[in-house]
Amino acid sequence: MIATSSPQRQSGVALAWLRLALQGVPEGAVVSYGELARRAGLPGRARQVARLLAQGAMNDLPWWRVLRSDGHIAMPPTSPLAEEQRRRLLAEGWQEPRRRWR
């Protein structure tokens, strides 16, 4: 019989690798959800990264350094968390990209 790991164990391992990857993002740098997933050995799992961050699973880490692939904050601009993320990023020297209107 082949042993398989449970989804909970897989999720715990994924969270551990994501935590390590996020710890490795230095002050003043940003990373996309997809890039963070790739660095954690989870290519193609950007949505899993977003879900874990939204659940507060990594609040003790620099969550504010994770952005969309276009360099923008993923949350609605007027949300309190988006304002907090913007404030923290600006304090680290980040320059917000201009919005492109279609």
Q: Each residue of 55-96: pLDDT tens digit?
A: 887 889 999 999 999 999 999 989 999 999 999 999 999 998
Q: Please, which residues have CB within 8 angstroms of residue 67's CB and are 6 or more apart in sequence?
A: 30, 31, 32, 33, 73, 74
Which residues form the domain of 38? 13-91
The residues pairing with 67 across neighbouring beta strands, listed in sequence order, are 32
Domain-embedded: residue 68: yes
Domain-embedded: residue 6: no
Domain-embedded: residue 5: no
Distance between CA atoms of 67 and 71, rounded to whole angstroms? 6
What is residue 102's predicted lDDT score, i.e. its pLDDT?
A: 55
> Total structural domains in the chain?
1
Domain-embedded: residue 49: yes
Question: Which string of b and e fits 38-60 if b means at least 16 CB within 10 Å?
Answer: bbbebeebbebbbebbeeebbee
Domain-embedded: residue 77: yes
Contact 22, 62 (CB under 8 A): yes
| 9 pLDDT more than 60 | no
Domain-embedded: residue 101: no
User: What is this structure's pTM?
Assistant: 0.83
Domain-embedded: residue 75: yes
When pLDDT is cut at 50, 70 and 90, the band that residue 101 belongs to is low
Q: Each residue of 18-56: pLDDT tens digit?
A: 999 999 999 999 999 999 999 999 999 999 999 988 888
What is residue 3's predicted lDDT score, i.e. its pLDDT?
A: 44
Indicate which CATH number applies to the domain containing 17.
1.10.10.10
Domain-embedded: residue 35: yes
